[in-house]
A and B are shown apart, each in its own frame.
Chain A
Amino acid sequence: MLKRTPLFEAHQKLGGKLIEFGGWEMPVQYTSITDEHLAVRNAAGIFDISHMGEITVSGDAAAEFLNSVLTNDIRKLSPGEGQYTLMCNERGGVVDDLYAYQLSGNVFFLVVNASRTPDDVQWLQKQWEAFPKKADVHMTDASHNYAAVAVQGPRVAEFINECITIPSTSGMRVAKVTDLKKNQIGGFPCHGASVLVSRTGYTGEDGFEIVGRDDSILHIWNLLLEKGKPFGIKPCGLGARDTLRTEMCYPLYGHELDENTTPIEAGVGFFVGLDKGEFVGRPVLADQKANGVKKKCVAFKMAEKSAPPRPHYPIWVNGAKAGEVVSGTQSPSLNAGIGLGYVPPEFSKAGTEIEIEIRGRRSKAVIVPKPIYRKG
């Protein structure tokens, strides 16, 4: 039985086309992926992200514990701030990528991928068992308590303050939501409860992610659609979420990331704090950083008219198979085929000419710098 978010009926009313994703029944699109994508690039779009998992970690040794299992240095955070980070196995392979927020001195909030939540919880549990100060760390899978929306786009800051009107009372203390800076998070009273609002997203545009109780999120979803209407807001599905993140080269678990791929190979080494001390996977990651990797995640753009590249299409270099596409689509912003794939590092330089095999025929493509899409 697929899980449904508290916005399920709202999606049906809006004509959303529903598909299975990570065990959830989610809207893939309402009108068209291209329209929704361009709404986010040019105005505003709202996404149901209630399927994401939430884990709270608290206690006197919470920061120390998280620093032993996550790649980024959690000590860089102050209360009210968040960071992108990854969780690796002993081989340096990625268990999940996530956002870690520090809500207060010893309270942390992790937002993880829907499809990975059970594995993450199990993995964290296993690490906790072996952690010397485990009595000082409390961990809860709070996913079932939370729904969430992402509201994204250059015009969002023009109307979000009309939806959340009271100053924050926890996390980053600000008078209004738009006073939050990138990666900051605050708890705001709203509709008789409290919601967590962070200035984050998965689209490359300015925007916010809002986490709260089911009824709060349904209220905010409706309010954002209403107040955002004059600014051109559109409800957006997973289809646009995928094309937007692909243009930005943000990894998606199961595509760029899996348990046999490291953050260094995936090109997110920036979020690996090798100098922070021991953490799971560090020896492998340090070795790769020093001595290089065997495969590297690259971005590419089709150089001739072709069908859009898709996951698992072979990548050819110099007349031989050299790798595989992991994400691919037609870019609505660039109106060209784009994608991400893995190739040996010697072929990873921007400008390298490659070919993508599409249904038995090879089409020319070129490796480009990340992100594939840049504003302006």
Chain B
Amino acid sequence: MSNVPSDLKYAKSHEWVRVAGDVATVGITDHAQHELTDVVFVELPESGRKVKAGEACAVVESVKTASDIYSPVSGEIIEVNKTVADNPALVNTDPYNGGWFYKIRLSDAAELNSLLAPDAYKAQIGG
């Protein structure tokens, strides 16, 4: 069964968001990494890029396929995780900590309300 930490918010497209003030950290869920398996490459957005909620802004590649990662919130990318780009397996082994993708300064904090609470995400993935 997939791990769904209770202190995070979730997008239907399997990204998680950890909010601290007006900055959100974004990654993909344990369920998503388990579905992908064998993450071999992570392509991150440029720092400074402005993205809209729902916009494809990163790519995660398994042996089999490339999958787009959609930003759950709008704002400006202020930091990306270079460690995960060098060691993509972190997405599999530590999806909620070492495997984070980027930090984004929120341009519309109200968007957070439309994300899923842990229970709702758990229900979506059937666990």
Q: Which residues of A contact B (CB under 8 A)?
A: 28-29, 31-34, 37, 239, 242-243, 306-308, 310, 329-330, 332, 359
Contact = CB atoms under 8 A, between A and B. Distances in A.
B40 A330 contact: yes
B40 A310 contact: no
A308 B37 contact: no
**Secondary structure dominating the interface of B:** strand
B41 A32 contact: no
B26 to A, nearest CB: 19
B41 A307 contact: yes
B43 interface: yes
Contacts of A359: 43, 59
- Interface size grouping (class) on chain B: 10 to 19
A242 B64 CA distance: 9
B79 interface: no
B38 interface: yes
A329 B63 contact: yes
Contacts of A330: 38, 40-41, 61, 63
Contact of A33 (B38, B41, B59, B66): B38
A307 B37 contact: no
Nearest to B60: A307
Contacts of A34: 37-38, 63
A306 B66 CA distance: 12
Contacts of B66: 307-308, 310
Interface string B111-127: 00000000000000000
B49 to A, nearest CB: 15
**A contacts with B: majority SS:** mixed
Given A307-B43, A310-B66, A329-B64, 17 more contacts: A31-B37, A32-B38, A32-B63, A33-B62, A33-B63, A34-B37, A34-B63, A239-B63, A239-B64, A307-B41, A307-B59, A307-B66, A308-B40, A329-B63, A330-B38, A330-B61, A330-B63
Contacts of A308: 40-41, 61, 63, 66
Given A307-B66, A359-B59, A32 B37 contact: yes
Given A33-B37, A33-B38, A34-B38, A243 B43 contact: no
B63 A243 contact: yes
Contacts of A33: 37-38, 62-64
Contacts of B63: 32-34, 37, 239, 243, 308, 329-330, 332
Contacts of A243: 63
Given A33-B38, A307-B41, A308-B41, A28 B61 contact: no
A187 B111 CA distance: 66
Max count, chain B CB within 10 A of own CB: residue among A243, A310, A330: A330
Interface string B57-94: 00101111010000000000000000000000000000
A29 B35 CA distance: 11
A118 to B, nearest CB: 27
A308 to B, nearest CB: 6
B37 A29 contact: yes
26 contacts: A28-B64, A29-B37, A31-B37, A32-B37, A32-B38, A32-B63, A33-B38, A33-B62, A33-B64, A34-B38, A34-B63, A37-B63, A239-B64, A242-B64, A306-B41, A307-B41, A307-B43, A307-B61, A308-B40, A308-B61, A329-B64, A330-B38, A330-B40, A330-B61, A330-B63, A359-B43
A71 B29 CA distance: 51
A359 B59 CA distance: 10
A110 to B, nearest CB: 30
B39 to A, nearest CB: 10
Nearest to A35: B38
A33 B37 CA distance: 8
Nearest to B62: A33
Contacts of B41: 306-308, 330
Interface string B21-62: 000000000000000011011010000000000000001011
Nearest to A28: B64
Nearest to A239: B64
A243 B64 CA distance: 9
A306 B43 CA distance: 9
B57 to A, nearest CB: 12
